[in-house]
């Protein structure tokens, strides 16, 4: 019973900490800057994209069912995203090489950014950290041309997410 109580306490502590962390990043906040390499080993800095809209989506792992569905959903919507003067970036803790294989396999026409240490995911409150196992949470951020967070999506549905982002982007741009 004592062991169960201790596990319950630790679980509640992690839940409280995660809720507190999410409270720090809000719509209207300055989006944390980053410099990350994509699947072609090209470096991208968020500040270089000021003046345009950025869709920054975090996902747990390349070549898993939900992550593949989400990436392909954004791939299929890329022309509409570009028409909305927006750039999309996928971010996970996978390596540049893993991103390259994933992007080639699924013909992904946008940058997949490698955040191997999880520093950027953490700055966006999008890091799952279970003991020594880390992944990105399935969260998305729409960043406006001034570099402010315009919309936050937490725990999204991979198969319909790009349409939701596009609908909101149309409203935000009006």
Known catalytic residue at 67: yes
Selected catalytic residue, list 25, 55, 67, 103: 67
- List 53's β-bridge partners, or say none: 86
Tokens describing residue 125:
């409150």
Please write down the long-range contacts of 45-48, taking CB distance under 8 Å and 24 or more positions apart: 46/143, 46/147, 47/147
Active site residues: 67
């Amino acid at each position: 019973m004592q062991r169960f109580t201790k596990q319950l306490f630790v679980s509640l502590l992690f839940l409280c900490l995660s809720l507190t962390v999410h409270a720090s990043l809000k719509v209207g906040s300055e989006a944390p800057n980053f410099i990350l390499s994509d699947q072609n080993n090209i470096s991208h800095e968020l500040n270089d994209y000021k003046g345009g809209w950025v869709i920054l989506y975090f996902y747990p792992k390349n070549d898993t069912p939900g992550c593949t569905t989400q990436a392909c959903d954004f791939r299929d919507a890329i022309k509409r995203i570009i028409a909305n003067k927006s750039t999309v970036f996928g971010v996970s803790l996978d390596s540049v090489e893993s991103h390259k294989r994933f992007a080639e396999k699924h013909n992904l026409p946008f940058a997949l950014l490698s955040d191997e240490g999880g520093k950027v995911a953490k700055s966006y409150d999008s890091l799952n950290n279970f003991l020594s196992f880390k992944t990105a949470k399935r969260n998305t951020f729409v960043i406006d041309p001034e570099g402010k967070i315009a919309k936050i999506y937490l725990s999204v549905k991979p198969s319909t997410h790009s349409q939701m982002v596009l609908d909101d982007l149309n409203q935000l741009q009006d």
